Amino acid sequence: MAAGLVAMALPTVPVTAQNQSGTAQAQPTTNNPFGIPDDFSIFDRNSAGERSATAVVNGYVITGTDIDQRVALVTAASENELSSEELERLRVQVLRNLIDETLKIQAAQALELPADRAQIEQTFNQLATQNFGRNPERMTEYLESIGSSPDALKRQIEGELAWENLLRRNITPFVNVSAEEVNDVLQRLEESRGTEEYRLGEIYLSATQENRAEVLQNAQRIMEQLQQGGSFVAYARQFSEATTAVVGGDLGWIRLGQLPTALAAAAREMQPGQLNGPIEIPGGFSILYVINKRQVLMANPNDAVLSLRQIAITFEPDVTQEQAEARVNQFATFVQGLRGCADADRAREELGASVVANDQITAGSLPDQLRNIILQLQVGQTTPPFGSPQEGIRVLMLCGRDDPEDVGAPTFDAVMSQIEQDRINKRAQRYLRDLRNDAYIEYN
């Protein structure tokens, strides 16, 4: 699968303070390998500080417009407006993304493995169908309205498809997994029956000793943007270096033993919907997102199909606090006296309540707090009253529950595919690093 890309913030250089005569004071230091003094002056300061964030990659020009339109794709997925400082940092990240994307496209073209134009158009139209109901024109209108363009999105698609072509030619054929390895995993799965496994999202940023500080800062900024409402899927697609970037960073269902120690320790303390990071692991940093949790080879309670009755009362707009409390107490007492679901309709006549039935609702579709309460109920029991005088007070009564069957172990082929993908991911990261090292890149 194609990899998303990480962008590093460009290092900044401090400008020295000057003494009263205007002469810069510099003191030599010995705690860095180049003997650079702690204080120094920057010559051609305006030029150094005002360069536009564009680049030429092996002769291919990445323009400011390219960066603007790709930034728009990212910011459109965020609910909060970025500050000018955050936006500038994002532009630097996106430039690195575009450089890596260009290297992938060029490498594919050099090996006569370019992305097929028809497939690019097909993928674009599939995205239009998913988001705008078989109407590519509406997709185009939307992209232009946010300051991007169809060409910007198609370029990203081209990069992903070109990378897939390269991996199929240069990586995948050389990854081998033995039957013994697969059987070993299946045996460990069976031994782990009943233990927890996690569906995780990951944004992975590779780092070396030389660029560790810059990559860490970059990861922290991405984390801040996610905490402010940014879409994890969108940021993973744009900035993750793992091959799972193309699917929004989704690692699928895994056990903690399959993760690096630091990631396993972090995930163990997290609940669905939580973010954690950046977490340092061998080779870089990761940002984790827990999508869901379940028990290995066991039925997932969230898949239970419930039959529920909702009993609700409302209040007049001018109700006083005392009147509301009295009505809530009356409602709670009435609900406690119900003898089961067949008795629920009495609430209409005696309280003027509404009673709504839903016989096909999955537990996983309920809010976490309610789901945890309802899964502990017996048939005929109700939740505590919840709500507010403004929105009304309600209870949910459990009238039936169909639990899912225990799931079996994954198939031999599924386990083999997962091991292969992990190894492809590691080799793909090394391959991209080699492309960067061999590239001629000129920054403007």
The H or E element that residue 87 is part of is: helix 84-110
Residue with tokens 């051609």: 44
- Does the pLDDT at position 397 exceed 60? yes
Do residues 216 and 225 lie in contact, with contact meaning Cβ atoms separated by under 8 Å?
no
pLDDT in tens, 155-193: 999 999 999 999 999 999 999 999 999 999 888 877 777
Confidence of residue 408 (pLDDT cuts 50, 70, 90): low
Give the least confident one: 53-57, 102-106, 258-262: 53-57
* pLDDT per residue as tens digits for the range 190-213: 777 777 888 899 999 999 888 999
Percent over 70 (pLDDT), the chain? 85
Query: For residue 253, what are the CA distances in angstroms to 259, 273, 431?
Result: 12, 15, 26
Q: Is the full-model pTM beyond 0.75? A: no
Output the CA torsion 44→50→53→59 (10° steps).
Answer: -50
What is the tens place of the pLDDT at every residue in 72-114?
988 886 666 777 877 887 888 889 889 999 999 999 999 999 9
Q: How far is residue 60's CA from residue 51's CA, in Å, rounded to a whole number?
A: 18
Residue 295 β-bridge partners: 196
Tell whether the torsion through CA atoms of 61, 66, 67 and 73 is positive or negative.
Answer: negative
Decide: 215 and 285 in contact? Cβ < 8 Å. yes
